[in-house]
Amino acid sequence: MAGKPKLHYTKGRGKMESIRWLLAAAGVEFEEEFIETKEDLEKLRNDGVLLFQQVPMVEMDGMRMVQTRAILSYIAAKYNLYGKDLKERAWIDMYVEGTTDLMGMIMYFPFQPADTKEKNLALIIERATTRYFPVYEKALKDHGQDYLVGNKLSWADVHLLEAILMAEECKPDVLSAFPLLQAFKGRISNIPTIKKFLQPGSQRKPPTDEKFVAVVRKIFNI
C-alpha cells in the first residue's frame, strides 16, 4: 500500500471532495478508484476493507482509513495544517465543523424533492449569510491576519474556501456583504497548490447534477 494515497469513492464530490481538497492543498498527489456500480461497492464490503461498510475510504501510509473526519484530521496533522498547539487545533476544529455543517446542507440539496428545492435553497443562503460567514468575517477582522488561525495556512482555511465556492454556486454574489471573505477567497485561491487544483483538468469534481444523483441513488440503494 506504499506510494500515492488511493481514494475509493464515486466519481463525484460527496464526502470525498474535502479530502481531495486537503490533499491537493498539501501538494500530495493521489490516485482514485471509482465506485461506479452497486457491485463495486459490494466488492469492497465483501473484501472486508471498509471498517463500517461505508465510503469514503482512503488507502494511505499502510492504513485503510474510513470516516471522513478521521481521514481529514490525519491529513491535516501529517502535513502541518492543524495548528501549533491544542488551542489552535480546537479553533481549527470549530471552524471546520461550522463549514462542514454549511457544506452538508449544500451537498444534500440536489437529492431533495423538487417541490422543496426553492425553500431549501433559500435556507442555505440564509444560513450562509447570517450564521456562518459572519463568524469568519469577524475572525479575520478581529485578528487582522491573512489566515483564520495562527496566521498560517491550516485545514480551516482550505475548508472555508471550499465552502465559499460551493455557496457561490448556489448564489454567485453570496459574499457581497463580506469584504474580508472576498479578499480571503482571492488570497487562498492563489496559493500555488490550491490554484493548481482549481484549474480545469484537476481531480476536483463538478457540482452534482441530476444524472449523478441517479447514479448515487443506484449505487447506495437510496
Contacts of 104 (CB under 8 A, 6+ apart): none
Q: Are residues 144 and 71 in the same domain?
A: no
Q: Are residues 95 and 177 in the same domain?
A: yes
Residue 90 and residue 183 in one domain: yes
For the stretch 109-141, pLDDT in tens is 999 998 998 999 999 999 999 999 999 999 999
Q: Is residue 21 part of a domain?
A: yes
- Name the helix (H) or strand (E) containing 135: helix 133-143
C-alpha cell at 211: 444524472
35 located within any domain: yes
Instruction: Tell me 23's DSSP state.
Output: H
- Distance between CA 4 and CA 115 in Å, rounded? 43
* pLDDT number for residue 1: 44
Is the model's pLDDT at 2 over the cut of 70?
Answer: no
Q: Which percentage of the chain shows pLDDT scores above 90? A: 97
Same domain (yes/no): 124, 183: yes
How confident is the model over 10-67, as pLDDT tens digits? 999 999 999 999 999 999 999 999 999 999 999 999 999 999 999 999 999 999 999 9
The residue to which cell 471498509 is assigned: 50
- Domain span at residue 50 reads 6-79+198-212
45: domain CATH number is: 3.40.30.10
197-214 per-position pLDDT tens digit = 999 999 999 999 999 999
- Whether 59 and 98 share a structural domain: no
CATH number at residue 179: 1.20.1050.10
Answer for the pair 184, 118: CB distance below 8 angstroms, yes or no. no
